[in-house]
Amino acid sequence: MSRLNQIQNKIHYQSSAGYKKPEGKKVVFTNGCFDILHKGHVEYLAQAADLGDYLVVGINSDASVQEQGKGEDRPVNKIQARATLLAALGFVDAVIEFDSQTPLSLIENVLPDVLVKGADYNPSETDVNAKGYIVGREAVLENGGEVKVIDLVAGYSTTNIINKLKK
């Protein structure tokens, strides 16, 4: 199988139907837009991958990125480009697109052993309306999993990159 096919086989668009939870592996799940892949994303994802044996990345569809109010020009890169870049990372095992505001149904389907978000979230927050609440935490905890946060890399964000390019 070609390397490009290996990358493409990691990607599941609009459905987790092709995803099969690997047996005997500690599955880690995180999600995001990953609009312009940068050092902060790579370090965050590498650290997430270190928390288990198999990293699943939920990626917002183009429509769900726009619904988040990140700006009329977002996403800069369409879903196929964003998913391909993520899948090309050796430590990413699966990339699954989701089209809703949150990845809750995807998390409930994947049922990871570890749910990971950036440290701007709070793994102890139980108020679903709080800014730091981690969607899917209850499903993961009820299934015997854990919820963790990873420090973000200071100075790296897609918004900062876009603002710098506009200057």
Could you report the per-residue pLDDT of 9-25, keeping only the tens digit for each?
Answer: 999 987 666 778 899 99
The SS3 call for residue 132 is coil
**Please, which residues have CB within 8 angstroms of residue 4's CB and are 6 or more apart in sequence?**
none
CATH number, domain containing residue 56 = 3.40.50.620
Give the C-alpha separation, 36 to 53, whole Å.
Answer: 26
DSSP-derived secondary structure letter, 153: P
pLDDT in tens, 75-134: 999 999 999 999 999 999 999 999 999 999 999 999 999 999 999 999 999 999 999 999
Sign of torsion over alpha carbons 28, 53, 145, 45 = negative
Q: Say how many domains are in the chain.
A: 1
Residue 77 domain boundaries: 3-166
